[in-house]
Structure 1
Amino acid sequence: MGRRDYENDPAAPAANSLVPAASVIVVDADGRVLLQRRVDNGKWALPGGRMEIGETLPGCAVRETREETGLDVEVLGLVGTYTNPGHVFAYDDGEVRQEFSICFLARPTGGELAVSDESTEVAWFEPAETDDLPMVAGIRKRLTDWRYGKTPAFR
């Protein structure tokens, strides 16, 4: 399903849903960060997704990372909360979701890097290498908060 991100755009459609979600900054022992290139928009992003009934938000972060990248992770802390009502995601099925994401910091504990049905590439990057990668503003904001020590950030 296709998705279009709008951030503080007056032409954005009105939100019609709010779904708790987790995103994850996974950092390896060498200080590199894990990113995936999304199928729906072709841009680089953090692993993450919507919370399911019966799971905790950190559990969601672990599950989504495994599903989208093939890696098992241990959650270490909180990067920040991202709940900008001016940031919405419009999906092909008509859902327009207001941003509601808690971003966690994690480390890899096992598994093998693998693409999923949501990604075309999964790779490790030095933090400075992420500066020129195509990504939506909300993901860049999370990476910037982590890189420059704005932990936890509340936006």
Structure 2
Amino acid sequence: MLIIGYVEDLRRLVGHRRVLLNGCCAVLVNDDGALLMQQRNEPARRWGLPGGLMELGESTKATVVREVAEESGLRLDPDQLHLLNVYSGEGTSVAANGDQFDIVNTAYYAEHICGTPRVNDAESLQYCWVPFSLLPDNVPRTHQHAIRDYLALKAKQADKG
């Protein structure tokens, strides 16, 4: 059984002190070869990949499926998700409210994603299918790494072709 609100409960105990968080994101590509990007309210209207933080009892794959459904309404088949990489050691971040954290981010990718994402929560401002040649500049580092690694994987697959 999932205990929802793990990070909120943790913050009540430790305040703004530095903690280690586990996040997950997804490189989701449609049939036109465009990437699903999410513009979030915080921090500072940044663009990024859909995803979020793990809850107690969740697998990384389950986190991606849950977060994408909660935030965009898109339903992912867990069998479509392929592990891309795990990113860590990016340094400490500080949220707008002063919370300090380091993150371990697990990235997956899935292709042939269909559907129209819609804003389902206060975290998101909008979703767009964006061609890889037109990606926004203000993307978190771990998401930039995931996008870069996905493109490298596709180039390698094309070379073996």
Number of residue-to-residue matches in the alignment: 136
| Residue 100, structure 1, aligned to residue 131, structure 2 | no
TM-score, normalised on structure 1? 0.76
Stretches of structure 1 lacking an aligned partner (at least 5 in a row): 1-14
Structure exhibiting the larger radius of gyration computed from Cα positions: 2
Distance in 1 between residues matched to 2:27 and 2:122, nearest whole Å: 20
Distance in 2 between residues matched to 1:150 and 1:98, nearest whole Å: 29
Distance in 1 between residues matched to 2:152 and 2:18, nearest whole Å: 34
The answer to which structure has the higher helix fraction is 2
Percent identity, please: 26
Residues 2-151 of structure 1 mapped to structure 2, 5 A cutoff? 16-40=18-42, 41-74=44-77, 75-84=80-89, 86-107=90-111, 112-115=116-119, 116-130=121-135, 132-149=136-153
Stretches of structure 2 lacking an aligned partner (at least 5 in a row): 1-16, 156-161
Distance in 2 between residues matched to 1:87 and 1:24, nearest whole Å: 21
- Per-residue CA deviations over 1:35-86 (Å, capped at 9, x if unaligned) read 10110121110011111112211000111111222211134211110011x4
Distance in 2 between residues matched to 1:59 and 1:52, nearest whole Å: 10
Distance in 2 between residues matched to 1:110 and 1:122, nearest whole Å: 14
Distance in 2 between residues matched to 1:117 and 1:92, nearest whole Å: 16
Residue 99 of structure 1 aligns to a residue whose secondary structure is strand
Distance in 2 between residues matched to 1:88 and 1:108, nearest whole Å: 35
For the Cα contact (< 8 Å) 1:88–1:96, is it kept in 2? yes
The answer to which structure has the higher strand fraction is 1
